[in-house]
Amino acid sequence: MILLDLFLTGLVVSVACAVPGLWLMLRGMSMLSDALTHSVLLGIVLTFLIVSDIDSPFMIVGAVASGVGTALFVERLQRQNISADAAIGLVFAGMFSLAIILITVYAGDTHLDLDAVLLGEIIFSPFDRIVLGGVDIGPRAMIMNGVALFLSVTFMVVFWKELVFTTFDATSATLVGFAPTVLTTGLVILSSFTVVTAFDAVGAILVVAFMTTAPASAYLLTYRLRRMVMLTVLLAVSASIIGIWVAMLLDVSVSGTMAAVAGLQFVIIWLFAPTRGVIARLIERRGLRTEVLLLAQLMHIVSHKRTHQQFVVDGQLVRELQARGWIDEAQQLTSIGVRTLQQAGMLTTTAE
Amino acid sequence: MIDSVLLVIIIASVIIGALSGSLGVIMVLRKRSLLGDAISHATLPGVAIAYLFFGKDPLFLIAGATCAGVVGVALVVLITNTTRLRVDVVMGMMLAVFFGVGMVLLTYIQKLPTTGQAGLQAFIFGQAAAVVWQDVYVISALGLPIMCVVGIAWPIIHAFCFDHAWLHARGLSSFVVDLGVMFCVSVVIAMGLPIVGALLMSALLIAPAIAARPWSTRMSQMMIIAGGIGAVCGVVGALISSAYARIPTGPTIVFLSVVIALLSHVIAMRFRSARIRSAL
């Protein structure tokens, strides 16, 4: 039962991060997910210092507020002649370092543990359960991330048309009257909420892994958006299940292994993807090279036959040409050869 | 009277602050600010592997961290060049995945029967109090040659930031120069890890450079100002954290440098608008 809870929690966390992560990636805001995971900590710490209850709903309000604050601050700095990446790096470092200073200064008086917040350990999540009116409804991490997942999926389904329009053609979307910034703010709020709920289970840094890796892998596999969403979810699910299983076998950090498996999945897809993978493209390039060489050799033979000059041929290429039936035994151009050359645009008039 | 423990921390912080401040200028000018973040997170598995094979010798830990950082950068460049993914996605992914692998290795090391692995956690959060004279020797022994390389290769680095056509005209591959520069940056990040930690080291790289930008018109000027700001933040941060027992050194240095960067831009804006007003 505990094992099942662990697997389910991992699965929900991983999918809940991947869905908003995909939209952040498509809108070119991936680095914001990195910034959010760091800066949200300041909101959590500040709220904790005020309400001093780690399970309080205000924690989420504080975290979301600091997430939105980060996005606004970054935008403000960009108007100050600081480039986007520098602004993001500056803002989250400032908020994060302040959060760590506050945590260590007040560490003695609180239950906020730096290691737990930043590195997280999902293995303990099945033991922290939500009990409502005497009924055990499940592990806290699973329920909270389930809510986050439900919100992102609802957001995506309800605003699908608007999301697609503003993501892929922001200019005309603005002209027609859609406001991309409203949806961006919605996404930032959703992402902050997801980050806060996920962080408990997997820690701040690994949230970035779940937000970027599955979407990036799906992006390499397809151009179709619907298929990309499906693949993202599928890859997030498989990374979490394999990750948890491997971690149990080796008895090492569960969230770390989940991230490592997600990375491995990406590398495999990057190298071996059917048409756009590195290896597939190498093979394609080599094939293309042979085709070009064959055509060049054919042209060479044709033009020299016409002028009756002495010429040198490559034996291997000629054999391949004959095997394809483009030339006959006497190295005369066949009708198939003529058609091939015409299709390649290398022969405009029919050869006598 | 400054005691010897504090002196070590101050010297180490000054050297790291000055080095990372001046090298950070390259990152900021090349719009690579977040790559430093990717490198510093990516060093973690290198530290763990170096510990597994060579123990806690700081030289080997730095070497391991540097290698992992360079591998991380090379992967980011390779993946960006061979796919249609944007570089920010690849960086975010690499830093998190490398960090995850590092976590796996660290939890594996923690189960080993050998003692003394407790110090490895310091590489994530930084622990200035654990810095000893040996670390200072290693930092200076590696920092000096790096500054010399930057000095000797100055025209190349300058062109790397502003004029790739010049590099190509001189028959230099920008990829090779890129790897060389990123190697130097990785070494500096690796050296800063024990004090500032993997999570915040990148900020120490870019914040002084961002602070120096409005006050400089030449790259050499910017490097000197940024190095100076980094060094000052190092001293002040070390002094503040020694005066108040609970305040951690690394985050304080980083927070100071971020505040200086923001203030510097606010003041620069004031100056600019005042100048415009007087010109009118």
What digits encode the pLDDT tens for the residues A171-185? 888 888 777 778 888
Residue A108 pLDDT grade (very low, low, confident, very high; cuts 50, 70, 90): low
Q: Which of residues 159-198 of B touch A (CB under 8 A)?
A: none
Please report how many Cα atoms fall inside a 13 Å half-sphere around the Cα of residue A8, on the Cβ side.
14
Locate the domains of chain A by residue range: 2-273, 279-343
Q: In angstroms, rounded to a whole number, what is the distance separating the alpha carbons of residues B126 and A262?
A: 28
Band of the pLDDT at B118, cuts 50, 70, 90? Answer: low
**What residues are paired with A327 via a beta bridge?**
A333
Q: Is B93's CB within 8 Å of A216's CB?
A: yes
- Reference B194, options B258, B120, B103, B101; nearest CA is B120
Say yes or no for a CB contact (<8 Å) between A219 and B85: yes
Q: Which of A83-87, A189-193, A310-314, B224-228 has the highest mean pLDDT?
A: B224-228
Any B CB within 8 A of A242 CB: no
Measured CA to CA, the distance from residue A17 to residue A15 in angstroms comes to 5
Predicted confidence (pLDDT) at residue B258 exceeds the cutoff of 90: yes
Residue B37 with chain A: CB contacts under 8 Å: 34, 89
Token couple for A302: 């044709």
User: Shortest Cα distance from B112 to chain A (angstroms)?
Assistant: 12
**A236-268 pLDDT tens trace:** 999 999 999 998 898 888 888 999 999 999 999
For chain A, give the mean pLDDT.
83
**pLDDT at position A297, please?**
82
Closest CA in chain A for residue B110: A252
Alpha helix stretches (DSSP H) within chain A: 2-26, 30-51, 58-78, 84-106, 114-119, 140-158, 160-168, 170-176, 180-202, 204-221, 225-250, 254-272, 278-307, 315-323, 335-343
CB contacts, 8 Å: A85 with chain B? 31-34, 88
Q: Are A346 and A317 in contact (CB under 8 A)?
A: no
Say if residue B117's pLDDT is above 60.
no
pLDDT of residue A203: 78
ipTM over 0.90: no
> Does A89 contact chain B (CB < 8 Å)?
yes
Would you place residue B266 in the very low, low, confident or very high pLDDT band (cuts 50, 70, 90)? Answer: confident
Q: With CB atoms and an 8 Å threshold, state whether A209 touches B37.
A: no
What is the band of A352 on the pLDDT scale with cuts at 50, 70, 90? very low
Q: Which of A97, A208, A250 sits opposite B95 (nearest CB)?
A: A208
Structural domain boundaries in chain B: 4-279
Contact across the interface for A82 and B95, Cβ inside 8 Å: no
Q: Answer whether residue B96 shows pLDDT above 50.
A: yes
Q: Out of A7-11, A136-140, A228-232, A273-277, which region has the weakest mean confidence (pLDDT)? A: A136-140
Residue range B4-279 forms a domain whose CATH class is: mainly alpha
Give the largest CA-CA distance in chain A.
Answer: 99
* Lowest-pLDDT range of A62-71, A106-115, A215-224, B128-137: A106-115
Write out chain B residues lying below 8 Å of A243, CB-based.
none
Q: Which residues of B60-99 are buried (b: 16+ CB within 10 A; e: fewer)?
A: bbbbbbbbbbbbbbebbbebbeebebbbbbbbbbbbbbbb
CB-CB neighbors (< 8 A) of A252 in chain B: 104-105, 107-108
Per-residue pLDDT band at A120 (split at 50, 70, 90): low
Q: Chain A 183-202, CB below 8 Å of chain B: which residues?
A: none
pTM of the model: 0.84
| Minimal C-alpha gap between B136 and chain A (Å) | 24
A262 in contact with B, Cβ within 8 Å: yes
Superfamily of domain A2-273: ABC transporter involved in vitamin B12 uptake, BtuC (1.10.3470.10)
Does B37 touch chain A if contact means CB atoms closer than 8 Å? yes
Shortest CA distance from A269: residue in chain B: B83
